[in-house]
Amino acid sequence: SQTIHQWPATLVQPVGSPLSLECTVEGTSNPNLYWYRQAAGRGLQLLFYSVGIGQISSEVPQNLSASRPQDRQFILSSKKLLLSDSGFYLCAWSLEGPGELFFGEGSRLTVL
Amino acid sequence: GESVGLHLPTLSVQEGDNSIINCAYSNSASDYFIWYKQESGKGPQFIIDIRSNMDKRQGQRVTVLLNKTVKHLSLQIAATQPGDSAVYFCAETRHTGTASKLTFGTGTRLQVTL
């Protein structure tokens, strides 16, 4: 069966520090991968998605970047965090084409 | 632009009663819709989906209804239980042919009272 792992689960970082959130998927090959952000009490906003190694599509201009160094690994990064980067970050995967997204357990980032 | 929204931000239902959560969408080109359940501090979990060539789909205790004429989606939960308390999101796809770029609504919190 397929599983998705995200880490760290919780992170508190000072403004201006770097960020790296990691996500890996097991049990499937060539998945589509996604990073969503959820502000407190709000819906989910798509940040990045990837349909293959090295292929990254950005949905919104922001202080973050994403990379896919391996088929089942997706990384969300920042060089210098802003207060507005605080939120709940969710990684997800799907098969090719429109369909269900399978979400990880999320990473809660607090920038102070 | 396209958007997905919910009519009621909070819904309080007595245990054992049926729940109905509503959602409106604006993109008439959407062809796939999903309902997710999100418990506090966790990632969203798939509940049920429906394609635009259908108007009703049933699962275990849940039914999704799609009215394309008025661009409305609803989730019905039968015999609501305390474990159903969560935030529920509807989502629709922007068909790209490859990625499943879901657009989510803002969510409805379902509170089940005893």
pLDDT per residue as tens digits for the range B53-81: 999 999 999 999 999 999 999 999 999 99
Out of A59, A98, A106, closest to residue B42 by CB: A106
Q: Identify the CATH number of the domain in which residue B47 sits.
A: 2.60.40.10
d(CA B65, CA B52): 10
Out of B32, B43, B97, closest to residue A103 by CB: B43
pLDDT per residue as tens digits for the range A6-20: 999 999 999 999 999
Domain that holds residue B42: 4-113
Sequence-ordered list of residues with C-beta below 8 angstroms from that of B114, at least 6 positions apart, any chain: B14, B15, B82
Q: How many domains does chain A have?
A: 1
CB atoms A96 and B98 under 8 Å:
yes
Domain that holds residue A70: 3-111
Among chain A residues, the shortest Cα distance to B4 is held by: A43
B31 touches chain A (CB under 8 A): yes
Q: Identify the CATH number of the domain in which residue A71 sits.
A: 2.60.40.10
Q: How many domains does chain B have?
A: 1
